[in-house]
């Protein structure tokens, strides 16, 4: 009888431990993985033939305390939506458009003028947002869940990663890793 009681107590402890693990620790472990491992896949916000390298070319994430990637382009180049989502904000003073693909992510594209869309519109990846108002555009990925900026390069499709990598080779800020940032731990 004593052995039976020990077995029941042991099984009870395992059961309670499983419940605590399943309802308390498992959700916290999922939260630690950035943006819920959602399907955030960014494409290039500009056609690669309209990129320029005579000044800086591509300025990596975190250089000069930036929170995104700066891409030098031909002035007036069509700027493409890097992801599908709702346009949540338009800032005319900074020529910035904010696309919200999920409730926990904002994608900012700065340097866009002559917008083809307004706040509240749904835009598809690859649609023309507007046109480059200067010689560069800025791509930012804001993680609302963890309240930080993420390196957009980490979420780009293979084609965009190849274009950015090739652009870095001929840019002023040539670097091994576009996402090097001593102040952010991934």
Give the bridge partners for 106, in sequence order.
142
Choose among 114, 119, 105, 97: nearest CA to 45.
97
Instruction: State the pLDDT at residue 182.
Output: 60
Mean pLDDT of 118-138: 91
What rounded mean pLDDT belongs to the chain? 81
pTM (global) more than 0.85: no
Look at residue 55 and tell me whether its pLDDT is greater than 80: no
pLDDT grade for 31, boundaries at 50, 70 and 90:
very low
């Amino acid at each position: 009888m004593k052995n039976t009681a020990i077995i029941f107590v042991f099984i009870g402890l395992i059961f309670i431990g499983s419940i605590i693990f399943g309802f308390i620790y498992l959700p916290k472990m999922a939260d630690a993985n950035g943006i819920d491992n959602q399907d955030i896949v960014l494409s290039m916000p500009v056609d690669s033939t309209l990129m320029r390298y005579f000044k800086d070319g591509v300025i990596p994430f975190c250089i000069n305390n930036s929170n995104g990637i700066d891409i030098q382009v031909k002035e007036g180049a069509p700027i493409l939506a890097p992801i599908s989502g709702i346009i949540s904000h338009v800032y005319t003073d900074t020529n910035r458009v904010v696309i919200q693909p999920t409730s926990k992510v904002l994608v900012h594209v700065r340097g866009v003028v002559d917008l083809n869309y307004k706040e509240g519109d749904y835009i598809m990846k690859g649609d023309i947002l507007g046109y480059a108002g200067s010689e560069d555009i800025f791509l930012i990925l804001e993680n609302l869940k963890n309240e930080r900026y993420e390196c957009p390069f980490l979420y780009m499709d293979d084609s965009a990663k190849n274009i950015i990598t090739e652009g870095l080779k001929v840019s002023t800020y040539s670097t091994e890793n576009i996402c090097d940032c001593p102040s952010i731990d991934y």
